[in-house]
Structures are given as structure tokens and as C-alpha cells.
Amino acid sequence: MSAPKKLFIKTYGCQMNVYDSERMAEALGGEGYVETKSADDADMILLNTCHIREKAAEKVYSELGRFKGLKAEKPDLKIGVAGCVAQAEGEEIMRRQPLVDLVVGPQSYHRLPEMEAKTRAGEKVLDTDFPEEDKFEKLKNRPKAKRGPTAFLTVQEGCDKFCAFCVVPYTRGAEVSRPADRILREAQDLVERGVREITLLGQNVNAYHGAGPNGDLTLAQLIWELDKIDGLERIRFTTSHPNDMQDDLIEAHGTCAKLMPYLHLPVQAGSDKILKRMNRSHTAESYIRLIERIRAARPDILISGDFIVGFPEETEEDFQATMDLVEEVKYGTAYSFKYSTRPGTPAAERPQVDPAAADDRLQRLQALLTRQQREVQDSMVGREVGVLFEKTGRLPGQMVGKSDYLHAVHVADCNRDAGELARVRIVSSGANSLAGELIG
């Protein structure tokens, strides 16, 4: 019996890429590959790329350059580039880096086994189509190996919003929702393998409208179907758009016990002028009123967000409007970035903000967001929360897990195993995590 081939996957970017990498590994697992933690040991290397941040493509070329020596030592080594950079720059990757054997876009990775076979026959393979077939249905069923207590599950891909700064509509395509029955089957399979918490993924997840037995389901209706699965204890979803936060989803946050009190709802800016130039189709006021409605349904919900500073034509007054919005909403966590041009997007052609001014604004915003995050964490001390344990800690007898609010929680003298859900009293707040003690 021949030894299994080894696959090394490096994943960049969002949770959807993490999910995609899992599925790529499963697709190639059917061809005799097992994953390895080291590129040096691999028979195939896959870079699953993200195109959101500045110089994303150059980072991929730099990473590929590190593999030249390895390729020279192992001529049979196959190297592939997958994901959004592959979609955007497929032919250019092949031209600039001859060591690359295959390039596959995010909608075509179910074809990896066929592509891998062609590379073994000496061919170079490029597939960045948007195929008509459902890639999820074409993939082999997930192997029945035991899983950790948490998992991602993609339910929706693509985006029709065409924000002026974003490449997703060009690299992932139009919004497509998976049929509900297929999602429920995959969720049931994950639970049977030990998963207790599922995070539903989509570029615009709350625009979900997947086919159900009696017409399309909204995301809230899908969540209520998932709620019926015995053994599934927690449900989350990300990433959402304010314009698709429907009434039934707001209500579900107040009535569905399995839907966790955490919501990532990016606003991007607090200036209506900048929001209009971003093509966000909402205002700062409408966003704030939406947050009020969500908190009325679930008062303890933790709100997370995304912010871009230094967007083309942003003035100090526009930036101050963002700071004012942050002060009013009070975020439990948030992600903030300095605007970076993405070739081919409308904003890339507009007058750019002075980099030094953008840097200064980012530092001020991050200081405010960090203060708010710490205040929310500190407010958890003395409260009881549910914690899903995921792994052992650094100290003997310590377990680490996530709270209902997605805070990392360390519990000492813990006699629980990974995958167990327990009530914990928070006793202290650290820089990026909480400490707790078991109740009972």
C-alpha cells in the first residue's frame, strides 16, 4: 500500500476562506491526500487567497517566491493558488510565477481532483469560471471523522451591493444562496461528528434566500430550522449588511435561545456623504435606529462592526461623524482599516486622502474602539455566561472556550472536556480574554 500524499494549505482572509480550505482538503482527501502542517513535507501546496486588503496579490507572489527552492528540490511538488486573488489574476499568476501548476477560483474548487490529475500528467491548469453546477453538491460528502466543537458552514456566497471599495462582486460573483435542505443535511452531519456550535457564513449572509419546501427561506427561517437539530447548541452568523436586517431576523435574536447574543453588523463610516460615496445605501441615522431595534429585541446583545477610515474625499468633519457614531453605538468589538485602493473598483479612481492624515485617523479610531471593547469586557465581571469549551489552556487543569458573546474565557481547575457547555461566573477581565470559574 502506497504512502498517502501530503497536502499543505495556507489560508488567507475571512472565515469563508477557512471553510473553503476545509472543503478543498476534503475534495483532495478523496484522491489520497492527507493534510500536513509543513510545506516542506508536502506533495501539493495550495495558497487559498484573499483579495480584500491592499497588496494582496503581491503578498501571494512573495509567498510563492519562497517555494522556488523547494520546487527545485522536489520537482514532483505541485503548487496551486486558489481563492479570490486566483479569480482576479489567474493568467497573470501563471505568467509571473511559472512554478505554479494550477490556479482555481473560489467557485470552481470542487474540480480540484480533476485539476490535480492533469497536473500529474504534466499540464498547467487554470479554472476561474463561474460554473452553473453547485460546487457544494459536487463535492464528496464530508468524511465522518470527529470534529471540534465549533464549525463554519457557508450558506450564501457573492454580493450584489457593489460597495465602491469592494472587489467581492467581481471575485465571488452575484449573490447565491444554497438550498435549505442541503444546509440542514450538512449541519446534521457536523453535529453527528461532535460540533455543538455552527457559524453560518456568507459575504452578505442576512440576504440569504435559499430554496425551501414551500418557497425561499429567509435567514431567520433557516435559523429556526437549524434550531430543531438535537445536539446543536449554538448558532451564529456573519457577515451582515444593514439593509438586509429583516424584522424576522431581529425578532429571532430575542426569541431563539440557540441564536447567540452577538451580531457583526458593519457600518463602515458615520458620515452620510462618505456612505453615499461608498454606495452603502444606508445612512448613519438609519443604522443607529436599526441598532436600537435590535437591542430592544435583545438588550444584552454585543454589537461588532467594521470601519474604513481615509476613504477618498473624507474630511476631518466626516471622520468626526464616524467617531460620533462609535460613541453612540458602543461596540463590544470592531475591526478598523485604513482605506486601500482595489484596482477595478470605483473608489480607486477618486482623489485619495493624505496617507499621514489617514494614519492619524485610524490610530484615533482604534484607541476609541479599544477603550469600548475593554469597557464591555470589564462589565462582564461578576456575570454568569455560557461557555463552550474548545481546548486545554496553558496551565494544568485549565480549559479555554468562548462565551455566548464570543469572548475567550479561561477557566482554572476545570473538570470539563472540549465540546462541553457549562455555566461560568466571570471573575476577571484581561487584555483580550476573561477568566471565570465553574458554577456548581
Same domain for 275 and 203 = yes
The H or E element spanning position 387 is strand 384-392
CA quadruple 234, 202, 126, 163: dihedral sign:
negative
Final residue belonging to a domain, choices 111, 127, 143: 127
159 is in an annotated binding site: yes
> Do 360 and 394 fall into the same domain?
no
Q: How many domains does the chain have?
A: 3
Question: Which of 127, 152, 174 is the endpoint of a domain?
Answer: 127
DSSP state of 394: S
The reported pLDDT for the residue numbered 414 is 94
Residue 375 is predicted with a pLDDT of 97
Q: Which three cell numbers stand for residue 188?
A: 446534521
Mean pLDDT of 221-229: 98
Contact of 235 with 253, CB cutoff 8 Å: no
CA atoms within 13 A on the CB side of 365: 32
- Tell me if 414 is assigned to a ligand binding site: no
Alpha-carbon distance of 130 to 116, in angstroms, equals: 19
- Tell me the mean pLDDT in the region 369-394: 96
Q: Phi and psi dihedrals of 65, rounded to 5?
A: -60, -30
Q: How confident is the model over 259-277, as a mean pLDDT?
A: 98
* Nearest-angstrom CA–CA distance, 300 and 302: 6
The answer to whether 166 is annotated as binding is yes
CATH code where residue 72 lies: 3.40.50.12160
Same domain, 118 and 150: no
Q: What is the dihedral of CA 136, 141, 144, 149, to 10 degrees?
A: 10
- 238 & 370 share domain: yes
For position 111, what pLDDT does the model report?
Answer: 85
Cβ contacts of 131 within 8 Å, gap of 6 or more: 107, 108, 111
* 421 pLDDT more than 70: yes
Q: How confident is the model at residue 20 (pLDDT cuts 50, 70, 90)?
A: confident
109: containing domain = 5-127
Length of the chain: 440
Residues 139 and 266 in one domain: yes
Which pTM value belongs to this model?
A: 0.81
Report the alpha-carbon distance of residue 401 to residue 251 in Å, rounded: 27
Q: Give pairs for 27-30: CB < 8 Å, separation 24+.
A: 27/109, 27/110, 27/112, 27/113, 27/139, 27/140, 28/112, 28/113, 28/116, 29/140, 29/143, 30/113, 30/140
Evaluate if residue 146 carries a pLDDT over 80. Answer: no
